[in-house]
Amino acid sequence: MKKILIVEDNEKNMYLISFIIGTMGHQVVQAKTGEEGVALAVAERPDLILMDIQLPGIDGLETTKRIREEGITAVPIIAVTSFAMSGDRERLLAAGCNGYIEKPIDPGTIKDEIGAFL
């Protein structure tokens, strides 16, 4: 069983992603803000992080940057976002994300991406 941190402010998305991860047999840690996400990443040392990009307070890109600055560089961070414009994927990867999942959330895509990184 792996520990997966989800940083997501939308309750429905959090529920869906948590449910999918639970069916895969992994442990879920939840954060609703970027600040909480940084704190939990440091405290919990998850095996994988799923990062919403549009968050209240600091956004997902700044949250990713801060997690990396805390020395958490080996943990894969997958951006989960509705940003699907040309260049967005490259911008997210350049900011420190290792993968990219577009919203709306597709259970198969979530499982495939998690499987690819774990």
Q: Which residues pair with 26 in a beta bridge?
A: none
Tally helices (H) and strands (E) across the chain.
5, 5
Tokens of 77: 């961070």
Give the pLDDT mean for 62-71.
95
What does pLDDT average to over the chain? Answer: 93
| pLDDT surpassing 70 at residue 83 | no
Residue in 59, 68, 50 with CA at minimum distance from that of residue 117: 50
Q: Compute the distance between CA of residue 84 and CA of residue 94 in angstroms, rounded to an integer.
A: 15
Residue range(s) defining the domain that contains residue 83: 3-117
Q: Tell me the CATH number at 24.
A: 3.40.50.2300
What is the count of structural domains for the chain?
1
* Degrees to nearest 5, angle at CA 75 with 74 and 77: 125
Q: Would you place residue 100 in the very low, low, confident or very high pLDDT band (cuts 50, 70, 90)?
A: confident
Q: What is the pLDDT of residue 91?
A: 84
Q: Would you place residue 84 in the very low, low, confident or very high pLDDT band (cuts 50, 70, 90)?
A: low
- 15-24, 30-39, 88-97, 109-118 — which is least confidently predicted? 88-97
Q: Would you place residue 94 in the very low, low, confident or very high pLDDT band (cuts 50, 70, 90)?
A: confident
> At residue 58, what are phi and psi to the nearest 5 degrees?
-75, 140
Q: Rounded to a whole number, what is the largest CA-CA distance in the chain?
A: 36
State pLDDT tens for residues 51-62. Answer: 999 999 999 999
